[in-house]
Structure 1
Amino acid sequence: MESEDTIIALAALAQSTRLDVFRLLVKYEPDGLAAGDIARALAVPQNTMSSHLSVLSRAGLVSAQRVSRSIVYRAELGRLQGVVLFMLRDCCDGRPEICGPLIEDLTPCCQPRPKGRADV
């Protein structure tokens, strides 16, 4: 990933509604969520939501697919991974004393859930 791509992605997420949209879409992976449902969930007018979704789409952070009469949006987790990896690799410059604590902080939140166990 290039610096310019990272700047565009971070700029797209640097607005509260767009960050909320992305976070909501991550929760609905892998199925995604229709544009109208996103707008309702976040109490944002549909025309305003359309603008936010366009910015996220241009940044490569969401993708859209027409399903019947709806447009379903999905978070592009690969793009987020690219941004995070770029930041870690570029900023840490391969120095484990810098990267190590960051990766340790991420590890507990990203453990897979045990199979066969219902969420409470």
Structure 2
Amino acid sequence: MEESQALAAFAALSQETRLRVVRLLVQAGPDGMAAGAIGEALGGATTSRLSFHLTHLEHAGLIRSKREGRFIIYSAVFATLTGLIEFLMRDCCQGHPEICAPVAAALSCSCDPLKDASHG
């Protein structure tokens, strides 16, 4: 990830509603959520307000949308989120892996991605 991409992502995430949307979509996983369900989860955000935030996140590359019938489904772009974390941590250790060990431990997933991929 380039610095300009990271800046756009951080700018998008620096607003409370947008940060909540991304976290919600990360929890939803690859299947994502319909816009209406996102609005409900956020406590009934107005359609125009939600649309503004979703568009901002999509332009930053943090989420994507797809049409399924009458619904627009939004999902997190995990590759971008991973790139953002890698951007932050790229030069972490400087030859001292113990510095990054707590970060790596905090990022460990409670699921087994290899096991999950073999069942999909």
* Same fold, TM-score > 0.5, yes or no: yes
Please name the residue that 1:111 is paired with: 110
* Structure-2 separation of matches of 1:58 and 1:33: 18
AA paired with 1:36?
G
Q: What are the within-5 Å matches in structure 2 for residues 1-120 of structure 1?
A: 1-42=1-42, 43-90=44-91, 92=92, 94-95=94-95, 96-107=97-108, 110-112=109-111
* Structure-1 separation of matches of 2:55 and 2:100: 33
* Structure-1 separation of matches of 2:50 and 2:94: 39
1:101 and 1:28, CA in 2 relative to 1: closer, same or farther beyond 3 A? closer
AA paired with 1:11?
A
TM-score by structure 1 length? 0.84
* Structure-1 separation of matches of 2:55 and 2:40: 17
* Structure-2 separation of matches of 1:21 and 1:55: 11
The 3-state SS of whatever aligns with 2:73 is strand
* Structure-2 separation of matches of 1:10 and 1:30: 22
* Structure-1 separation of matches of 2:14 and 2:32: 22
AA paired with 2:13?
L
TM-score by structure 2 length? 0.84
Structure 2: stretches of 5+ with no match in the other structure: 116-120
**Aligned-pair CA distance for 1:77:** 0.8
AA paired with 2:49?
T
Structure 1 runs of 4+ off > 6 angstroms?
A: none
Give me the identity figure in percent: 45
Tell me the number of residue pairs that the alignment of Structure 1 and Structure 2 aligns: 111
* Structure-2 separation of matches of 1:99 and 1:4: 24
Structure 1: stretches of 5+ with no match in the other structure: 116-120
> Please, what is the CA RMSD of the aligned residues?
1.7
